[in-house]
Amino acid sequence: MKLLEEIEEERKEIRNKAILTSITLVGLITGVFLQFTVGESAFFYTAFAVAYLAGGLTAAIGAFRNLLKGKLDIDLLMVLAALAAAGVGEIRDGAILLFLFSLASTLEGYAMGNTKRAVVALMKLRPDEANLEQPDGQLQRVKVEQLTIGQTIVVKAGERMPIDGTIVRGESAVDQSPVTGESVPIDKAVGDNVFAGSVNGYGVLAITVQKLASQSTLSRMIDLVTSAQAERSPSERFSEWFGSRYTIFVLVGSVVALVIFILFGVPISEALYKAATLLVVASPCAIVISVPAAVLSALAAAAKSGMLFKGGAALEEFGKIDTIAFDKTGTLTEGKMVVDSVTPILITESKLLQIATSLEIHSEHPLARSIINYAETKGIKPQGVSDAETIPGKGIRAQINNTHYWAGNRRMLEDSGLKLDETIKNILSELEAEGKTTIIIGNSTRILGFIGIADKIRDTAKEAIAELRKNGIKRIVMLTGDHATVAHAIG
């Protein structure tokens, strides 16, 4: 997890910058207080010395390193301006320059730290270790980075997939929403592919490694976000370009001014004072703070609202857009499957729910929990069952009071051998057309009803879309890895 270590190092650096900025501010305030109370005493100079060291030492070291490489940057000009201010007797103004400079650097680090939370969240989807299957069938815990193509790993129920691979043994329902956005767990069997970061449901899966950890779909997503965040906005690039040239211009200008003053007979001490004054007046404080502060404060404000921009360039382009694409799962919807409709046939709704929850309480499928939770809210308690049997990829069946019942999908319905009349066919088609995952409940002689499960649309989604249209967004699209019927049902 080299990238994660780098992010942690950056966090420490941001904390250190914040501490130094705070020390600079304390030194500045203390110095100003002493200046107006006891005058320019030893404590006065000590306070400002602390402010200068805390606010300028890091920048001075960086500027010196760049100078050794033949580069003149705006850090150098800021440090020289602060020293020049002290040299002409305006030590307070120099401390103010260094505080503002230090504050800008801290805010930049803080704002970029917020945007990198997206990278951390993605990386947490990827396990550090995997269960490698040995030739004798034993499992060995190994680092994911050590896995090679062709090896077989075992993923137990509830565990995340560590790599992209193909199932060679076992069946399960896999939650791929963190990677593909599909709201409903997908039934997987031998020959099906799985993605790193997705969650295994109820079964134990043996998977052949198809891609190295660094080449998985999840890793490529992390690389995309990381590289995008490093991109600087056009304004920031211009500010950086202008700053380097401005530094040279001001330094040369100060030297030229010094020479001119001396040639015109101005005493050397006074000429130095005037040249230093020019350096202070030409301080790049506004250049250093204005553009990055505007960009970074916008990035930070967006992050607080749950919006992450790929970088400053994306932020600046945002004002020109006329089209917005939304992810479905967890953005337009709540990202949680709930019972949306109950359609009983020739029995009461409560009876249908009781049969369904009596069966599903013995199932490990993620959708079963949706039905159980819904029945609990209605005060419906399950009955005792016998001979409960889960049919992977289809559903569950059991005996209730010596009567055979089952609950599942269309494949389970086909296995039952029951024939559907036109009315029941139409009900089933309507539920599926509405984008609902439909659980069919029946017994050995007929269909008892349907339970529609869906990812609920957020209450604020329609309001937000209307507000976007009001503000000039002409086209709004939805991106989803879900089935077309589900997508059309959302809108």
Give the confidence band of 373 by pLDDT, cuts at 50, 70, 90: very high
Q: E strands, 110-198, where?
A: 129-133, 139-143, 152-155, 165-169, 172-175, 186-188, 193-194
Residue type, 453: I
Per the prediction, the chain carries an average pLDDT of 83
Picking from 132, 463, 486, the residue whose alpha carbon sits closest to that of residue 337 is 486
**pLDDT at residue 295 tops 80:** no
Spatial contact of 52 and 26, defined as CB atoms under 8 Å apart: no
| Spatial distance between the Cα atoms of 77 and 341, rounded to a whole number of angstroms | 68
**pLDDT at residue 257 tops 60:** yes
Q: Where is 442: in which H helix or E strand? A: strand 437-443
3-state SS, 178-247, equals HHHCCCCCEEECCCCEECCCCEECCCCEEEEECCCHHHCHHHHHHHHHHHHHCCCCHHHHHHHHHHHHHH
% of the chain surpassing 90 pLDDT: 29
pLDDT in tens, 214-254: 888 878 777 766 665 555 656 666 666 776 777 788 888 88
Q: Is 402 helix (H, G, I), strand (E, B) or coil?
A: coil
What does the block give as tokens for 114? 């917020």
Domain positions in the chain: 2-118+229-318, 127-215, 332-457
What does the block give as tokens for 47? 């306070």
pLDDT in tens, 7-37: 677 778 888 889 999 999 999 999 999 988 8
Residue 158: left if φ>0, alpha if ψ -120 to 50, beta else—which one?
A: left
Spatial contact of 118 and 224, defined as CB atoms under 8 Å apart: no
Higher pLDDT, 179 or 361: 361
pLDDT in tens, 119-153: 666 677 788 899 999 988 889 999 998 999 999 99
| Bridge-based pairing state of the strands 165-169 and 139-143 | unpaired
What predicted TM-score, i.e. pTM, was given to this entire model?
A: 0.51
Residue with tokens 């600079």: 24
Give the confidence band of 59 by pLDDT, cuts at 50, 70, 90: confident
127-215 and 332-457: same fold?
no
Count CA atoms within 13 Å of residue 75 on its CB side: 17
CATH superfamily entry for domain 332-457: Calcium-transporting ATPase, cytoplasmic domain N (3.40.1110.10)
For the segment 452-467, the average pLDDT, to the nearest whole number, is 85
**pLDDT at residue 71 tops 80:** no
Highest mean pLDDT among 200-204, 222-226, 306-310 belongs to 200-204
Q: What's the CA angle centered on 140, arms 134 and 141, to 5 degrees?
A: 145
Residue 256, C-beta contacts closer than 8 angstroms, at least 6 positions apart: none
Provide the pLDDT for residue 46. 93
Give the lowest-confidence range in 33-37, 64-68, 107-111, 418-422. 107-111
**pLDDT at residue 205 tops 60:** yes
Provide the pLDDT for residue 83. 85
% of the chain surpassing 70 pLDDT: 84
| Spatial distance between the Cα atoms of 14 and 350, rounded to a whole number of angstroms | 58
Higher pLDDT, 293 or 150: 150
Architecture of 127-215 per CATH?
A: Distorted Sandwich (2.70)
Provide the pLDDT for residue 422. 87
For the segment 360-376, the average pLDDT, to the nearest whole number, is 89
**pLDDT at residue 1 tops 60:** no
Higher pLDDT, 179 or 129: 129
For the segment 365-391, the average pLDDT, to the nearest whole number, is 90
Does 340 participate in catalysis according to the annotation? no
Residue type, 246: Y
CA distances for 233 relative to 104, 161, 311, 314, angstroms: 16, 36, 7, 7
Active-site position among 93, 223, 327, 415: 327
Picking from 427, 424, 393, the residue whose alpha carbon sits closest to that of residue 408 is 393
Higher pLDDT, 484 or 72: 72
